[in-house]
């Protein structure tokens, strides 16, 4: 699973596409608060590139930029909140939400955590590093992710998954710098964001198949919440 949990299976992936557009639109609106020009706003540029790579409709993208920048009236007000706690069987999770109603989201999180254990601020975050996470695909056969990580300035990388996507891990402050450097070293960036990487992930071999299913069901329910942007889980791949 790595640092960020993702839905598995074709049906879930198809359903997740609609959610992805909604989440990207929120990210775009938040980033556009600092300016509607991606060339002068590195955070916005990264999210816009990600939106284009997943074929977000141009009208949806442009409307999100204008809405976030306040060009369509009042700027959108979202608050970013991090929830910490444990999935079943003491698997640590960090949940990032963007919400326009903190009280509603807090109530929904309490319900979702009934099958796990909700923690207080700092109860789980100490066991995660705040990092940059860059998903990238090789642009040529034989592209070496280890060499690319070194030359582009990444801290580390996770080997390519079944879809051929390699995750490059950076210092939080180096996210944009490494994203810009990777294409020159044989990788095209699919997404780039700040996130959380577990320091001591739980080994899934220590959980039964039934226990793993319970963890997946919990994470899936969390991810289905409309306010949730990202779910980071302390479970080894």
Strand blocks (E) in the chain: 2-4, 79-87, 91-99, 117-118, 128-138, 156-158, 166-171, 187-198, 228-235
Q: Is the pLDDT of residue 194 over 80?
A: yes
Average confidence (pLDDT) over 21-47: 88
State pLDDT tens for residues 50-71.
888 888 999 999 999 998 888 8
pLDDT value, residue 49: 85
Per-residue tokens: 187: 């990788």
State pLDDT tens for residues 203-218.
999 999 999 999 999 9
CA 222 – CA 40 distance, rounded (Å): 35
CA 104 – CA 39 distance, rounded (Å): 36
The 3-state DSSP class for residue 109 equals helix
State pLDDT tens for residues 74-119.
666 788 999 999 999 999 999 999 998 999 999 999 999 999 999 9
Q: Is the pLDDT of residue 13 over 60?
A: no
CA 217 – CA 91 distance, rounded (Å): 13
Q: Please answer whether residues 177 and 192 qualify as being in contact, where contact means their C-beta atoms are separated by less than 8 angstroms.
A: no
Average confidence (pLDDT) over 190-201: 90
2-68 homologous superfamily: Integrase, N-terminal zinc-binding domain (1.10.10.200)
- Cβ-based neighbours of 186, under 8 Å, separated by 6 or more: 138, 139, 140, 143, 144, 148
Domain map of the chain by residue range? 2-68
* Percent of the chain with pLDDT strictly greater than 70: 92
């Amino acid at each position: 699973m790595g640092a960020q949990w993702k839905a598995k299976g074709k049906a879930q992936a198809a359903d997740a596409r609609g959610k992805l557009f909604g989440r990207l639109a929120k990210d775009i609106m938040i980033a556009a608060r600092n300016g509607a020009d991606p060339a002068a706003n590195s955070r916005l540029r990264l999210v816009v590139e990600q939106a284009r790579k997943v074929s977000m409709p141009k009208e949806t993208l442009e409307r999100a930029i204008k809405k976030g920048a306040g060009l369509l009236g009042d700027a959108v007000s979202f608050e970013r909140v991090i929830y910490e706690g444990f999935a079943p069987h003491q698997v640590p999770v960090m949940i990032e939400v963007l919400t326009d109603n903190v009280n509603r989201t807090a109530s929904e999180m309490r319900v979702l955590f009934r099958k796990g254990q909700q923690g207080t601020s700092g109860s789980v975050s100490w066991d995660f590093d705040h990092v940059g996470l860059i998903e990238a695909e090789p642009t040529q056969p034989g592209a070496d992710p280890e060499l690319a990580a070194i030359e582009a300035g990444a801290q580390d990388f996770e080997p390519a998954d079944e879809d051929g996507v390699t995750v490059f891990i950076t210092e939080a402050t180096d996210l944009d710098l490494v994203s810009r450097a990777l294409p020159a070293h044989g990788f095209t960036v699919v997404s780039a964001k700040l996130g959380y990487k577990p320091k001591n992930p739980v080994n899934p071999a220590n959980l039964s198949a039934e226990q793993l299913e319970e963890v997946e069901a919990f994470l899936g329910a969390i991810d289905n919440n409309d306010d949730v942007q990202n779910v980071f889980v302390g479970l080894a791949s």
